């Protein structure tokens, strides 16, 4: 039997001071304030961990508020230990010492990592500390099971490009696939792959091959679906609606069937979660099992897709592939008081753990409440999960001749570090990214 649950969120809840009214919100039209400059994947502003993985430069006070992201590294992650895992409250951006950063409660069992979701919780999410700008990623895993329980294996960028595998716990023979450009909802982007056997009882290999021209999803070495970039040109907005920016690998289990979610999300997830199920009674939590994850970086001498330097950053608020810079900029903070523009602020404690004494939020998730969402879209207003969200940050001068989207209003990229020129509408994240947007301060423990 899986061993008992460890106390959840204790380090997280004690590591940061949370303002009584909660952190400021951020959108494409409303940037973060100077005192809390970094817009996390929660759509909330803060410092410290807000400025590391998931920091959206388009919605932050300035482009350089976010800390540059570590570049892609070829690696096979054997999921037989947690030695190179850190909770988000302990990670300061050094990918040479940490492979995975996360929230929730990953556990070791029989030489594998379990991502757990105890009753009334929001589950667990792990993200690689390095970013893949095209390449191949493969995960060997067994999914969770049960109505309303969702397992996800995705690529997710700071500007919300996304490539997904998602598994709904009532359908153990299907791998759902999807992709999004900057979180723009499009319900025609999904496609299912039938999996032989049972995804809960048996390990399977799920792969994503991602190039500037094509995405291929494979299951157990066999191609299940292909999407060409040439099929994604948006004539109305003059842009490629295709994932194209450096992305972290993310593994998660999350409660699609939670009663706080919209009906469209609950229906998609297979119905309401049973927090008194046999799975909960036998183990104390729902869980997904991960055995191995491998990353192979795209090999190219010229952008897009290089990994020659130490870090990636954006030099324009459009957040397209021609605005990504492969650089040698530093990726680490001295403490959770730091930001991209003041990376040395604060210091570590004598124990070597990051300190946070600021009245500004430093760890995403503290006290926040996750929004109701459907896969890849904005907050649903109908029972079928449809959304009225639309819009884009593209401009009228993009060209479909090549993939390096020079979409500035005069045909060139702006290097202005402020986000005043961002265009478009606010969009929330996809269902697979929902596991990243969690409110750990509201966890109800066993």
Residue 264 DSSP symbol: H
Diameter of the chain by CA atoms? 63
pLDDT in tens, 199-242: 999 999 999 999 999 999 999 999 999 999 999 999 998 999 99
CA-CA distances (angstroms) from residue 2 to 8, 84, 111, 151? Answer: 16, 22, 12, 18
Question: Residues 6 or more apart from 108 whose CB is under 8 A from it?
Answer: 80, 81, 82, 114
Distance between CA 369 and CA 78 in Å, rounded?
Answer: 33
Which residues in 7-74 belong to E strands, given as ranges?
A: 38-39, 45-46, 69-70
b or e along 23-53 (b: 16 or more beta carbons within 10 Å of the residue's beta carbon)?
bbebbbeebbeeebbbbbbbbbbbbbbbbbb
> How would CATH label the architecture of 70-301+428-442?
Sandwich (2.60)
Distance between CA 253 and CA 4 in Å, rounded?
Answer: 18
Distance between CA 372 and CA 297 in Å, rounded?
Answer: 34
Residue 9 has pLDDT above 70, yes or no: no
pLDDT in tens, 29-77: 999 999 999 999 889 999 999 999 999 999 999 999 999 999 999 999 9
Residues serving a catalytic function are 162, 166
Q: Are the beta carbons of 434 and 373 closer than 8 angstroms? A: yes
Provide the residue ranges of all domains of the chain, joining segments of one domain with +: 70-301+428-442
Distance between CA 60 and CA 56 in Å, rounded?
Answer: 6
Cα end-to-end span (Å), the chain: 18
pLDDT in tens, 255-304: 999 999 999 999 999 999 999 999 999 999 999 999 999 999 999 999 99
Q: What are the phi and psi torsion angles at 325 (to 5°)?
A: -115, 125
Distance between CA 281 and CA 356 in Å, rounded?
Answer: 38
Count of positions (residues) in the chain: 446
Which helix (DSSP H) or strand (DSSP E) does residue 434 occupy? Answer: helix 431-434
- Tokens 């008992």 locate to 4
pLDDT in tens, 360-384: 788 886 433 333 222 222 333 333 3
Which helix (DSSP H) or strand (DSSP E) does residue 286 occupy? Answer: strand 286-297
Residue 253 has pLDDT above 60, yes or no: yes
pLDDT in tens, 391-415: 344 333 444 455 544 444 343 333 3
pLDDT in tens, 127-156: 999 999 999 999 999 999 999 999 999 999
Distance between CA 82 and CA 77 in Å, rounded?
Answer: 11
């Amino acid at each position: 039997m899986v061993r008992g649950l460890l106390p959840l969120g204790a380090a997280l809840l004690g590591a940061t001071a949370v303002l009584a009214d909660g952190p400021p919100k951020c959108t494409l039209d409303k940037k973060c304030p100077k005192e809390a400059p970094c817009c996390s994947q929660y759509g909330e502003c803060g410092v410290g961990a807000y400025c590391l993985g998931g920091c959206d430069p388009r919605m932050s006070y300035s482009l350089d508020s976010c800390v540059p992201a570590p570049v892609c590294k070829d690696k096979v992650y054997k999921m037989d230990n947690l030695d190179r895992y850190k909770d988000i409250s302990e990670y300061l951006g050094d990918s040479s010492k940490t492979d995975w950063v996360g929230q929730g409660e990953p556990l070791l069992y029989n030489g594998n990592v379990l991502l757990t979701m105890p009753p009334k919780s929001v589950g667990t999410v792990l993200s690689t500390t390095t970013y893949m700008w095209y390449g191949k990623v493969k995960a060997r895993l067994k999914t969770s099971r049960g109505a309303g329980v969702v397992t996800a294996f995705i690529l997710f960028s700071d500007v919300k490009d996304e490539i997904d595998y998602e598994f709904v716990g009532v359908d153990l023979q299907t791998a759902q696939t999807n992709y999004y450009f900057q979180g723009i909802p499009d319900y025609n982007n999904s496609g299912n792959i039938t999996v032989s056997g049972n995804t809960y009882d048996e390990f399977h290999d799920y792969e994503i091959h991602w190039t500037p021209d094509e995405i291929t999803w494979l299951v157990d070495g066999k191609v299940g679906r292909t999407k060409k970039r040439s099929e994604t040109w948006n004539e109305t907005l003059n842009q490629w609606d295709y994932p194209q920016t450096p992305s972290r690998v993310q593994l998660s289990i999350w409660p699609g069937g939670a009663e706080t979610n919209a009906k469209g999300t609950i229906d998609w997830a297979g119905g309401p979660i049973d927090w008194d199920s046999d799975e909960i009674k036998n183990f104390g939590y729902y869980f997904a099992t991960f055995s191995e994850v491998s990353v192979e970086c795209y090999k190219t001498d010229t952008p897009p897709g290089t990994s020659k330097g130490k870090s990636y950053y954006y030099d324009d608020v459009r957040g397209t592939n021609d605005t990504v810079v492969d650089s040698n900029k530093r990726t680490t903070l001295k403490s959770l008081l730091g930001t991209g523009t003041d990376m040395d602020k604060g210091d570590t404690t004598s124990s070597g753990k990051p300190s946070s004494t600021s009245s500004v939020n430093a760890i995403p998730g503290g006290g926040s409440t996750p929004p109701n969402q459907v896969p890849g879209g904005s907050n649903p207003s109908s029972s079928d999960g449809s959304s009225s969200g639309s819009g884009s940050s593209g401009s009228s001068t993009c060209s479909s001749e090549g993939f390096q989207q020079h979409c500035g209003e005069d045909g060139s990229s702006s290097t202005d570090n402020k986000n005043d020129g961002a265009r478009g509408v606010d969009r929330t994240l996809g269902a697979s990214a929902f596991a990243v947007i969690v409110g750990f301060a509201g966890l109800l423990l066993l």
